[in-house]
Every structure is written in C-alpha cells, then in structure tokens.
Amino acid sequence: MLLFRLLVNALALLAIAYWLPGVRVDSFWTALIAAAIMGVLNAVIRPIFAILTLPITIVTLGLSLFIVNIVVFSAVASLLPGFTVESFQATVIGALVLWAVGFVSGTALK
C-alpha cells in the first residue's frame, strides 16, 4: 500500500512537471525520491503543525494544513537536485495537485 502511494505520487510529480510550467523533474528516480521525502516530511511535520495550530485549523476547516503541503513541496524542491520549482504560483498549484492525487489514491485504497 505504501509502495503504491509512493509510485502514484512520483507519477503525479512527473505529470505536474509535464503540464505545469515552472516545475521541472529530471527523471523518474528524482520524482520517486522527491515523493518519498515529501511523504516523510508530511508524516513528521503535519501532526506537529496540526497540534500547535489547532484553533486556526478548526476555524479554517483544515485549510491551514494545506500550508504544510506548500512548505514541504517548496522545501523538497530546494533540497533535491533535479527537482525545481520556479515560482510561488507553481508551488501552490503543484502542492494542490499532489494533495488531490494523494487524497484520491488514499481514498481508493480504503
């Protein structure tokens, strides 16, 4: 199950890079590594952020947690050679598409 989600996210990153100007992924292996790093960072950062910002998360109905996805997407792009994001707009759209793909694939596996 974890391997399937990792593969789906890597393919989603490649699709994002293909369709969205401003996002570039050099190879499938780079996308796979980026998806793995994003998964680990989301697993570590999201619960901490959710607890620390619980009132804001409740008021915004969870939309503030989307900020975590944006930050993680941008952080991985800045840390991993071969995965670049050129603008904030590309970061937001890329994180949104990746979140949607992860949501759909996670729901499909349940």
Read off the pLDDT of residues 34-93 as tens digits, 9 standing for 90 and up. 999 999 998 998 889 888 888 888 888 888 888 889 999 999 999 999 999 999 999 999
Could you identify the residue written with the tokens 């944006």?
70
Q: DSSP letters of 18-43?
A: HHSTTEEE--HHHHHHHHHHHHHHHH
* pLDDT value at residue 30: 96
**CB within 8 Å of 85: residues ≥ 6 apart:** 22, 23, 24, 73, 74, 77, 91, 94
pLDDT score of 102 more than 90: no
